[in-house]
Structure 1
Amino acid sequence: MTVRNPMLAIEIDRKKALPIYQQICERFRTAIAAGHLRPGDRVPPLRGLATQLNTARGTVELAYTILVDEGYLQMRGAAGTFVSPSLSAAQMQAVAAGGRDDAADVLTTDLVGGEKAPYASPSHATARQRPIAAALSGEPRPLQPGLPALDAFPRKLWSRIVSRRARGGGQAMLAYPDPVGYLPLREHIATYLGLSRGVTCLPNQVFITGGYRATLELVLRSLASPGDRMWFEDPGYLLARNFLAETGVQLVPVPVDAEGIDVERGIEREPAARFALVTPSHQSPLGNTLSLARRMALLTWAEAASRWIIEDDYDSEFRYLGRPLPALKSLDRHDRVLYCGTFSKVMFPGLRLAYTVVPERAIERVERVACSMNTGAPTLFQAALADFIEQGHFARHVKRMRTLYGQRRLLIAHALKQAFGERLTVKLPPGGIQFAVQFAEAADGPVDDVAVATRARQAGLAVLPLSNWYAHGRMRDTPRGLVMGFANITDTTEADRLVRTLRSCLDG
């Protein structure tokens, strides 16, 4: 089948293994390289091209999204879609020189209608991940999401505890760690969760890991099969999405609204999914709380066909309006929820300690996989953390930080409103150490939040573009904004200075 216009011929071959959306991307790149399409040329509309190719509109839409993100196309709303006028001669030559089709090995996720579409091609995902990784690792930078107040952590106290353990802990502190975790720490976590999160569990249900990614890997290696489908919040946690796409799990984006993940939409899109990954206490990145009705609906969905819910409870300790909400796991009467927590937010991310509470029926499988992976976290830090908790320092630290963050979140909110006015919507969530703000649409269309975040990064700030957290982030109706942290803002002067810098990045 062939589509022709005066400047472009697109051919697709349904017998080829290469998915149709990738073939469309390949044809556009080739046309640009050959000079059949030049910067500023208009390309066929989505619906028209889909009709002529006899394929779903979503397939063409996804191809265009990839090409927009790669810089080849530019969407101008009602005016149509055009070859990007900013394509330089050097870029055109690079395409012509035979740049490979990076979408060839993309991992896919099933969408409504039975067609498969990508979360991102490897090149697209990598391009997104580079600035994300730069913003979230290495030397801490202002407004970095998910970063606790490093200035307020009791480092001297922690150093004494670690040193004491290193001196008196015996050879066990230096040997290979237990793959399932240091038992005293597992016991303390079980007690803590029962008191603070309403999660009733035994120590042998608690598995210690080297971070949230390691937790997901342990869970999926233990319980998932190749091709299993997983509901994933849309928008949802970026780094988890990118990692999961590498595992072979087929991600099904499910919309999020003010009540959290829309369970009914999830059932419509993929009723046979085996997993759902959710952030019910503080949705990442929007900050919404999963309503009780949605919680019960999600549990009912899981119970009906022995599905698994992965609950990421990453920063629930910090709530500023009312008491911390009980975990989804506390409502789980049929043992279908795997509860995941981390010490990166309540302690510091360099500790690299996280944990998961698995249902009793899954203990044997998870333990077997944990032993085969043999990637236990360092015993020295686990033992020191167990001491930190046992001696009451952990509870006191969390209490102090809850008060401190409640003050610092107001500083940044006030500064943002003063600097941006009506150009930015600031709605502080009731908890967490980061939040998302949304840009008002400009006269010439949506704000390019990726460009704003890039300029902010060049100015030394670590904000992230909100649109990247969506499955199809470059569509015109995708909310545009920024995701930022506030835990390390020390006073009004600093808040005003940082926000003025950020404001200068809005208009370039």
Structure 2
Amino acid sequence: MDLALKLETTSTVPFHRQLYDELRRAILSGRLESGQRMPSSRALAKALGISRATVLFSYDQLLSEGYLKTVPASGTFVACQLPDELLQATSPLISPTSPSRLELSTYGETLATVNLQPPPGQKPLINFSCYGRPAFDEFPIQLWRRLLSRACCFNTTILDYPADPLGYKPLREAVTRYLTQSRAVRCEPDQVVIVNGSQQALDLIARLFLNWGDRVAMEDPGYFEARCIFQVQGAEVLPIPVDHSGLVMKYLSTLTTPIKLVYVTPSHQFPTGAVLSLPRRLALLAWAQQTGAIILEDDYDSEFRYDERPIPALQGLASSDSVIYIGTFSKVLFPSLRMGYLVVPQQLVPVVTRAKWLIDRQSPLLEQHVLTDFINEGHLERHIRRMRMLYAQRRETLVQALTQGLENQVTIMGENAGMSVMVQFHTHWKDEEIVDRAEQRGVELISARSCYMKAENSNGKFLLGYADLNSETIAEGVWRLAQILKA
């Protein structure tokens, strides 16, 4: 039998792989027909001038994938039904008709009307628009790879469904120690729920607590995606103004309508950067206890304060079960890790466990193992210390460049913290014009308009992310902005 097989002696691809590819192509193209008998391994090896072991290796691979079959005492044959055919569904013959409108749920209809922002792109610009992106080139990727390899060697149970939807218990214990020490959060490991980032945490809480028509109080300006989650759940979102000391309590306490939930970012208000003062924290806790409202505390990047110690979490001050705490590793490590945590009151643990189980069973177990080792071996604290110094330098570079380059044409807002700065440019141009002119000069900006429920309050305000930009890039970007705004 002449199979017209060709093996390249100069190729870096091993002979057994070349032979496998050649035979598979011959089977799929029909040169080797269904049911046709294959030459013996000894005969084929002699014909090709290779070892019989190489032929056996290729045959075994084709047998295991279903291209060949063996018949006892008869030999090896091409399979009658090839595995590729099993992956191809036959299209049914259906007469074309006019498409009918698929009826969405109330959730779906509401979601269809929400104007979500596209995720930030990877453009070859001086990109100030990625206000939550950490410095990827400073992440200890070799260390992470080593921990990942070690976790893969752990045992096969790491591939199974985890026993606890709340998350890998050693990780929850590590997170508990970390939060107790760094954020003064009061909790036990069984109150910690590992989630796929803070976005899932927000969605879980909204599903569990909000009914259609419930009212949610929220900082204005505030986190746009959180507002969307509350709105598509059917809640009415009420804006509460923010000043240099955070949420203005007098507006919240004078509301006459019942409030189910209030969403706050007290440690570093998004997007203004304000810190909720202690008197207002105590007033907010007292108001929640009096009204029965739930406080949802989003502590998204409190690790990065540059002139003083981190502010203790609001949750640690609460004497009742009024606060649900959200944290994430997306800012301190990297966003694609998709790992965050909820700290819930003890009475909510059973229902949150059920909700997490129904939504996605569990967060990825392999990454949880790696993250546990990363925390327990001290790598997380060391990485945060390094990033805190780096981001402080980059923030100082940005502030100095803005102050010197734009002088009275810019107002810089917020505390000396975080991974972004909110600024207001004093110019007669509209935000869209500034964005377009900046892009023409190779600078990408993002307006803070989506953060405001009243768009007229956002004129000239922008978020400048700096964590993933080096000092030279920051200075060059601000210089280009100055040329635009002074034109």
Give TM-score scaled by structure 2 length. 0.73
1:178-235: CA deviation from partner (whole Å, max 9, x where unpaired): 4321111111001111111111101110001111111011112223323221111100
Mark the CA change 1:451 to 1:210 in structure 2 (over 3 Å): closer, same or farther. farther
Counterpart secondary structure, 2:239: strand
Counterpart in 2 of 1:397? 383
1:140 shift after superposition? 9.7
| 1:149 and 2:135 aligned | yes
| 1:176 and 2:161 aligned | yes
The one-letter code matched in structure 2 to 1:129 is Q
| 1:465 and 2:447 aligned | yes
Determine which of 452, 463, 466 is the counterpart of 1:483: 463
What count of residue pairs does the alignment treat as equivalent?
380
Determine which of 317, 327, 336 is the counterpart of 2:303: 317
Counterpart secondary structure, 2:292: coil
Mark the CA change 1:121 to 1:266 in structure 2 (over 3 Å): closer, same or farther. farther
Counterpart mapping for 1:114-125 below 5 A: 125=114
1:417 shift after superposition? 2.1
CA contact (8 A) 1:450 1:467 kept: no
Counterpart in 2 of 1:497? 476
Counterpart in 2 of 1:255? 241
Mark the CA change 1:158 to 1:428 in structure 2 (over 3 Å): closer, same or farther. same
The one-letter code matched in structure 2 to 1:480 is G
CA contact (8 A) 1:413 1:428 kept: no
CA contact (8 A) 1:232 1:276 kept: yes
1:251 shift after superposition? 0.8
Find the aligned partners of 1:134 and 1:431 in 2 and give their Cα distance: 22
Counterpart secondary structure, 2:320: coil
Gaps of 5+ in 2: 1-104
Find the aligned partners of 1:241 and 1:460 in 2 and give their Cα distance: 31
1:347-373: CA deviation from partner (whole Å, max 9, x where unpaired): 011111111100112111111211221
Counterpart secondary structure, 2:454: coil
1:502 shift after superposition? 3.2
Counterpart in 2 of 1:453? 435
Counterpart in 1 of 2:425? 439
CA contact (8 A) 1:145 1:463 kept: no
Find the aligned partners of 2:460 and 2:112 in 1 and give their Cα distance: 23
Mark the CA change 1:261 to 1:169 in structure 2 (over 3 Å): closer, same or farther. same
CA RMSD in angstroms, aligned pairs only: 2.6
Find the aligned partners of 2:399 and 2:249 in 1 and give their Cα distance: 31
Mark the CA change 1:243 to 1:395 in structure 2 (over 3 Å): closer, same or farther. same
The one-letter code matched in structure 1 to 2:117 is Q
1:453 shift after superposition? 2.9
Find the aligned partners of 2:170 and 2:446 in 1 and give their Cα distance: 38
Mark the CA change 1:141 to 1:228 in structure 2 (over 3 Å): closer, same or farther. farther
1:271 shift after superposition? 4.3
Mark the CA change 1:151 to 1:270 in structure 2 (over 3 Å): closer, same or farther. farther
CA contact (8 A) 2:125 2:443 kept: no
1:506 shift after superposition? 4.2
Gaps of 5+ in 1: 1-104, 108-119
1:242 shift after superposition? 2.4
The one-letter code matched in structure 2 to 1:388 is F
Find the aligned partners of 1:422 and 1:203 in 2 and give their Cα distance: 50
Counterpart secondary structure, 1:403: helix
Counterpart in 1 of 2:214? 228
Mark the CA change 1:464 to 1:169 in structure 2 (over 3 Å): closer, same or farther. same
| 1:194 and 2:193 aligned | no
Mark the CA change 1:302 to 1:500 in structure 2 (over 3 Å): closer, same or farther. same
Mark the CA change 1:121 to 1:503 in structure 2 (over 3 Å): closer, same or farther. farther
1:21-43: CA deviation from partner (whole Å, max 9, x where unpaired): xxxxxxxxxxxxxxxxxxxxxxx
| 1:272 and 2:258 aligned | yes
Find the aligned partners of 1:243 and 1:139 in 2 and give their Cα distance: 32
1:163 shift after superposition? 1.5
Counterpart in 1 of 2:342? 356
Mark the CA change 1:169 to 1:197 in structure 2 (over 3 Å): closer, same or farther. same
